[in-house]
């Protein structure tokens, strides 16, 4: 009888161990929305990486670009007691309270893409995001160096800056980089600055209004490629030649921008990779092993792509888009 009892006990123990080890690692992801090709690529890459990992399960929320939806999602993740939370904020402010609740629930938080202003006041286990100020600098530097390369470095030209979602760290960072770099190129005269909210439709609408209200636009700096592509539609509808009548510099380096550059309708795009799966998966695997990371925001290596290559921006030299378009992953 005692032997039977011992056998049953051992069996029950084995079942409980196997059940525990079989428990999925639940990774929750609060995504901003689907406003751009970049965002779609970012979502697809992270979903595939997490859902494709043995023993992991993804809990995904699309906030449709509304902060209140992201706050609700984060609170739902807490209620579900998920194992890890991935978070990128639609805007930089207004996250202190809910991210402190995540900390109090002791759910490890990974910050990706847009880092919240309260980052230095909360706990997070790792962070990955673009260097938005450098990306903004590169946009202006590319325009200034390109104009020099065609002998127009000393000619006053009118430049407009189409900003991303107002208050997003990608917008505030790129604008900071844009405006700081303009001081290095005094012949670039800023004649327009307005948000296109990172969407193609709003980029087209802003460009349409600028073409009616501003006498002469020589250069468009669009803080993402989707807005640049919308502006190209407006420029063509106005009977002008994009890439020639108006020099167009985007940001993100999505496939549609490469297509536009190769077609001669766009001049350059500054890379900002959306492919964070290759950072997030190994980081969570390491965290499961008990490894720790510091609060440094890891910036991926990023390039600049344009019509002909060879434009030296100090930290990077541009590459001819046509030479690498076949290798692009997003």
Chain residues binding ligand GZL by CB under 6 A are 35-36, 38-39, 113-114, 130, 170, 198, 224, 226, 251-252, 272
Q: Considering the complex, what minimum distance in angstroms separates the CB of residue 39 from ligand GZL?
A: 5
Which tokens in the block code for residue 52? 């494709």
Q: Considering the complex, what minimum distance in angstroms separates the CB of residue 28 from ligand GZL?
A: 19
Q: Considering the complex, what minimum distance in angstroms separates the CB of residue 260 from ligand GZL?
A: 15
Q: Considering the complex, what minimum distance in angstroms separates the CB of residue 81 from ligand GZL?
A: 28
Which tokens in the block code for residue 1? 């009888």
Please say which residue, 74 or 168, places its beta carbon nearer to ligand GZL.
168
Q: Are 99 and 75 a contacting pair, CB within 8 Å?
A: no
Q: Considering the complex, what minimum distance in angstroms separates the CB of residue 35 from ligand GZL?
A: 5
Please say which residue, 111 or 251, places its beta carbon nearer to ligand GZL.
251
Q: Considering the complex, what minimum distance in angstroms separates the CB of residue 313 from ligand GZL?
A: 18
Please say which residue, 37 or 83, places its beta carbon nearer to ligand GZL.
37
Please say which residue, 144 or 173, places its beta carbon nearer to ligand GZL.
173
Q: Considering the complex, what minimum distance in angstroms separates the CB of residue 198 from ligand GZL?
A: 4
Q: Considering the complex, what minimum distance in angstroms separates the CB of residue 145 from ligand GZL?
A: 22
Please say which residue, 191 or 260, places its beta carbon nearer to ligand GZL.
260
SS (H, E, C) the chain: CHHHHHHHHHHHHHHHHHHHHHCCEEEEEEECCCCCHHHHHHHHHHHHHHHCCCCEEEEEEECCCCHHHHHHHHHHHHHHCCCEEEECCCCCCCCHHHHHHHHHCCCCEEEECCCCHHHHHCCCCEEECCCHHHHHHHHHHHHHHHHHHCCCCCCCEEEEEEECCCCCHHHHHHHHHHHHHHCCCCCEEEEEEEECCCCHHHHHHHHHHHHHHCCCCCEEEECCHHHHHHHHHHHHHCCCCECCCEEEEEEECCHHHHHHHHCCCCCEEEECCCCCHHHHHHHHHHHHCCCCCCCCEECCCCCEEECCCCCECCCCECEEHHHHHHHCCC
- Using a 10 angstrom Cβ sphere, with 0-12 exposed, 13-18 middle and 19 or more buried, the burial of residue 11 is exposed
Which tokens in the block code for residue 313? 């921006």
Please say which residue, 43 or 318, places its beta carbon nearer to ligand GZL.
43
Please say which residue, 69 or 103, places its beta carbon nearer to ligand GZL.
69
Please say which residue, 83 or 139, places its beta carbon nearer to ligand GZL.
139
């Amino acid at each position: 009888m005692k032997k039977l009892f011992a056998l049953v006990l051992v069996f029950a123990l084995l079942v409980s161990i196997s059940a525990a080890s079989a428990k999925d690692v639940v990774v929750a992801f609060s995504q901003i929305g689907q406003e751009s090709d970049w965002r779609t690529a970012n979502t697809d890459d992270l979903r595939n990486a997490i859902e494709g990992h043995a023993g992991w399960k993804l809990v995904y929320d699309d906030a449709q670009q509304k902060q209140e939806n992201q706050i609700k999602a984060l609170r739902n993740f807490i209620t579900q007691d998920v194992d890890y939370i991935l978070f990128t904020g639609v805007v930089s402010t207004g996250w202190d309270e809910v991210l402190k609740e995540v900390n109090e629930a002791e759910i490890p938080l990974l910050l990706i893409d847009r880092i919240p202003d309260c980052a230095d006041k909360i706990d997070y286990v790792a962070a990955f995001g673009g260097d938005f100020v450098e990306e903004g600098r590169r946009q202006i530097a590319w325009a200034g160096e390109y104009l020099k390369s065609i002998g127009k470095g000393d000619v006053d030209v009118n430049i407009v800056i189409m900003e991303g979602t107002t208050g997003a760290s990608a917008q505030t960072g790129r604008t900071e980089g844009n405006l700081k770099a303009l001081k290095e190129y005094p012949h670039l005269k800023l004649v327009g600055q307005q948000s296109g909210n990172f969407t193609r439709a709003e980029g087209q609408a802003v460009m349409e209004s600028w073409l009616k209200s501003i006498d002469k636009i020589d250069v468009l700096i669009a803080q993402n490629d989707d807005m640049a592509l919308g502006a190209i539609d407006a420029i063509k509808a106005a009977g002008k030649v994009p890439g020639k009548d108006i020099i167009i510099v985007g940001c993100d380096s999505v496939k549609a921008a490469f297509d536009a550059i190769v077609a001669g309708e766009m001049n350059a795009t500054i890379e900002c990779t959306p492919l964070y799966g290759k950072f997030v998966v190994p980081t969570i695997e390491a965290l499961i092993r008990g490894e720790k990371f510091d609060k440094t925001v890891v910036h991926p290596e990023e390039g600049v792509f344009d019509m002909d290559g060879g434009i030296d921006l100090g930290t990077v030299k541009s590459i001819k888009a046509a030479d690498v378009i076949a290798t692009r992953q997003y």
